[in-house]
Chain A
Amino acid sequence: MSNKITGLFSDYVAGRMSRRELMIRAGQLGLGAAASAMLLNQAQTKAMAANFDWKKENGKAINLLLNKHPYTDSLLMQIENFKQLTGLKVTYDVFPEDVYFDKVTTALSSKSSGYDAFMTGAYQTWQYGPAGWLVDLNEFIKDPAATAPDWNVGDILPGLLHSDAWSGVPGEVLGGPNAKQWALPWGFELNSIAYNKRMFEQAKVDPPKNLPDLIEKAVKLQTDIKGIYGIGVRGSRSWATIHPGYLSGLTSYGGSDFTVENGQLKSAVNSPQCKAFTKLWIEMIQKAGPKNWTNFTWYEVGNGLGAGASAMIFDADILGFFQQKGTKEAGNIGYEGFAANPDKKEPTPNVWIWSLAINAASNNKPAAWLLLQWAAATQPTLFGATKADLVDPVRQSVWDDKGFQDRLKEKYAGYLEQYTASAPGSKIYFTPQPLFFNLTTEWAASLQKMYANEVSVDEGLDKLAESVMGQLRDAGIVK
């Protein structure tokens, strides 16, 4: 029986049978859709082995450090296939996101070989890379012996791949000529609007076109509908407050964190564009934001939308994606790409990229690379995107995949459109420099002060710029 089944799927993978036919035959063998999917996945994994020796590290063992996250769930669902494919022993440590990066930083700083590969964000690599804790993945990507010919790095969205590559020279553009590929994009989030259709219909407004429009509509929404607030955005005293909506909007208004003049970083947080935008931003929150904005993290923003406390959010698209299931407002969530600047049509969303990286102290780098390569390969990514929540996937081919598109159309109406609108302009808009967290944390703190009217926007941003330059000087980054 089992041979019959596996035979069936390998036939399909080998192209000796149509997908329709496969599903019928599978049905006859009494397999549910889910089960068939697993088997198909297995068969396809085997197929990967056809033209590349995945078994070259056979018998070795690798240990992973992972963050509790839907992406991780998707990886672990398929991990058995990877073991079969490579003959590697795989163990893993999963830590809650609240404490995950504390664990990563300490583990890496101890230079122990305990973990071979781990999850990281792109911003963290700006610390880990220069610290010498990461491996330049180009060694492997560019080495035909190490990477499967059909792996097709070109299929990974270039903006993301570049965002994970940096030369280590402060201010030098991401993915530049002598950039090192510190990490491999695995799944990502871009920032756009997710809104509550029910409320929008009730208040007879359609999705906002730009920031002034958004403020207006947000105010209307919360005056028309009792007990809600117009717009949810993050506001806690953390770097995480800056990178989603705020920086995306700032970019749209032509602002940036730094300007680079002949190789020298110069803080631009107090540029006219930046001040103009920040004034609007603070106004937006004061007029239509949540009461306890300064406590707002990813979770409060999400809960607000999901539980119908907020009419819309300007944050990661997948945050809206998650609210579409199992929440009070499930099914009412709509998605919209967003360009804050009235004079701009194309959204310029900043992105967060969950990536995989290899510990420089690892003793099994080639084995670790096999895992990275596999995790970001077309097939497991597709599986994750369709059968789990590896959304947004980093491969163009997956976005083009009919199955994935169907899934989105079915349950997440408007998500695909939102993505297509946002994707072209989406990348990391921060200037890479190792004091990223110092800057953004302080930035968040001063936004909070402006919100409480303790300082004016102008004064706050001037102070911030000053302090940032001071720290860059102390660190010897600028003269």
Chain B
Amino acid sequence: MNGKSVLRAVALTVIGLFFLFPLFWVVLMSFMTNADILRIPPSPFFTPTLHNYTALVSGELVTNVGTQKVTYMLNLFNSTVLSAFSVILSLILAVPAAYAFARYKFRLGEDIAFTLLSFRFAPPLLVLLPLLLYFQSMGLYDTYFGLVWVYQLITLPLVLWIVRGYFEDVSEDIELAYRLDGHSWLSTFLRISIPLARPGIAAAALLSFIFAWNNFIFALILGSSRIQPVTVGAFAFVTASAIEFGQIAAALVFSIVPTLVLAIFTQRYLVEGLSLGAIKG
């Protein structure tokens, strides 16, 4: 092992510690009682309990002030539905658009692209109150549809701009070749352009899913408690009587799982696809 690779190993270890230790600690906490968590000084030695998880699943949380109802599973479901549909819709809308901006230089093209991006930087707070008014008058208040629509502000620009970059890296000749083989524009788009941009699409899908997953202000203001995502759900363990840190930790662990699954799934595309990315003409 030469000096350079030693250095490399050290660097990776330090980085790994910085990013993973807090999570490791959270996982430990998810098996602790609140009393164990609030020890001075904190200590990794304790008798583990599944109570935090069972409470989340059963929806019954027994605390120092009686039993509380926990809707976390519902929150988990909501988050999954909202994020998944938001991403799917964004892909359907943004991938063709991204292709248009990447492939054709057309009048107002860049302006439209920038406008679409600019939706990302309208601060949610700014539009929330008016949005609430319109949602109520349009009957969109407290509907998944309404939220998925608003979530496009978060997910669509991201998908658009990431995927666009990848389309620009796909060689035009390959598309032309396929056209000359006698295939229509559409099947060229579906069978050549999209597969070749797949790593980008995978990355964009994953990231926008994460951003949709982490948002909560929209659902909070534009929906009732039956439609709230995990983010709001986790706050429910912060009550006047105590912060149930163990619950929050367990909730956090749960909330990671769906995204993690998606990440592992897309990772395949990232790795596989990237080797054939950037087939420049």
Touch test A–B (CB under 8 Å): yes
Are B35 and A97 interface neighbours, CB within 8 A?
Answer: no
Is B65 located at the chain interface by the 8 A CB criterion?
yes
Are A298 and B68 interface neighbours, CB within 8 A?
Answer: no
Is B235 located at the chain interface by the 8 A CB criterion?
yes
**Alpha-carbon gap, A303 to B238, bound state (A):** 12
Are B240 and A69 interface neighbours, CB within 8 A?
Answer: yes
Chain B residues within an 8 Å CB radius of A330? 64
Is B115 located at the chain interface by the 8 A CB criterion?
no
**Residue-wise interface mask of A (72-101) relative to B, using a CB-CB cutoff of 8 A (1 in contact, 0 not):** 010010000000000000000111111100
Instruction: Indicate which residue in B220, B221, B225, B238 contacts A94 across the interface (CB closer than 8 Å).
Output: B225
Number of interface residues of A (CB under 8 A): 37
Sampled A-B contacts (20; CB under 8 Å): A69-B240, A73-B66, A73-B68, A97-B239, A97-B240, A98-B235, A99-B216, A99-B232, A106-B221, A114-B136, A114-B141, A306-B242, A307-B38, A307-B39, A307-B40, A322-B65, A326-B34, A326-B35, A327-B34, A327-B64
Instruction: Indicate which residue in A70, A110, A388 contacts B239 across the interface (CB closer than 8 Å).
Output: A70
Are A97 and B238 interface neighbours, CB within 8 A?
Answer: yes
Instruction: Indicate which residue in A76, A93, A307 contacts B225 across the interface (CB closer than 8 Å).
Output: A93
**Alpha-carbon gap, A330 to B35, bound state (A):** 10
Are B236 and A110 interface neighbours, CB within 8 A?
Answer: no
**Residue-wise interface mask of B (231-258) relative to A, using a CB-CB cutoff of 8 A (1 in contact, 0 not):** 0100110111111000000000000000
Q: A68-B239, A326-B64, A330-B64 are in contact. List 4 more A-B contacts (CB 8 A).
A: A99-B220, A102-B221, A227-B40, A299-B243
**Alpha-carbon gap, A307 to B243, bound state (A):** 12
Chain B residues within an 8 Å CB radius of A97? 235, 238-240
For B63, give the chain A residue with the smallest CB separation.
A326
**Residue-wise interface mask of A (242-262) relative to B, using a CB-CB cutoff of 8 A (1 in contact, 0 not):** 000000000000000000000
Dominant SS among interface residues on chain B:
mixed
Are A106 and B128 interface neighbours, CB within 8 A?
Answer: yes
Instruction: Indicate which residue in B34, B63, B64, B136 contacts A112 across the interface (CB closer than 8 Å).
Output: B136
Question: Which B residues are closer than 8 A to A by beta carbons?
Answer: 34-35, 38-41, 63-66, 68-69, 128-129, 132-133, 136, 141, 216, 220-221, 224-226, 228, 232, 235-236, 238-243
For B231, give the chain A residue with the smallest CB separation.
A99
Are B65 and A303 interface neighbours, CB within 8 A?
Answer: no
Question: Which A residues are closer than 8 A to B by beta carbons?
Answer: 68-70, 73, 76, 93-99, 102-103, 106, 109-110, 112, 114, 227, 298-299, 302-303, 306-309, 318, 322, 325-328, 330, 388-389
**Alpha-carbon gap, A18 to B35, bound state (A):** 43
**Alpha-carbon gap, A103 to B224, bound state (A):** 9
Tell me whether A389 and B241 are in contact in the complex, defined as CB-CB below 8 angstroms, given that A96-B232, A303-B38 are known contacts.
yes
**Alpha-carbon gap, A96 to B68, bound state (A):** 13
For B239, give the chain A residue with the smallest CB separation.
A68
Instruction: Indicate which residue in B66, B132, B136 contacts A389 across the interface (CB closer than 8 Å).
Output: B66
Tell me whether A109 and B235 are in contact in the complex, defined as CB-CB below 8 angstroms, given that A93-B224, A303-B38, A322-B241 are known contacts.
no
Chain A residues within an 8 Å CB radius of B225? 93-95
Chain A residues within an 8 Å CB radius of B239? 68-70, 96-97
**Alpha-carbon gap, A90 to B192, bound state (A):** 57
**Alpha-carbon gap, A307 to B65, bound state (A):** 16
Tell me whether A328 and B35 are in contact in the complex, defined as CB-CB below 8 angstroms, given that A96-B238, A322-B64, A322-B65 are known contacts.
yes
Most A-side CB within 10 Å, residue of B41, B65, B128:
B65
For B68, give the chain A residue with the smallest CB separation.
A73
For A391, give the chain B residue with the smallest CB separation.
B65
Are B220 and A306 interface neighbours, CB within 8 A?
Answer: no
Are B38 and A388 interface neighbours, CB within 8 A?
Answer: no
CB distance from B248 to the nearest CB of A (A): 11
Instruction: Indicate which residue in B69, B133, B240 contacts A298 across the interface (CB closer than 8 Å).
Output: B240
Instruction: Indicate which residue in A109, A112, A114, A299 contacts B238 across the interface (CB closer than 8 Å).
Output: A299
Are B243 and A303 interface neighbours, CB within 8 A?
Answer: yes
Chain B residues within an 8 Å CB radius of A114? 136, 141, 224
Chain A residues within an 8 Å CB radius of B35? 307, 326-328
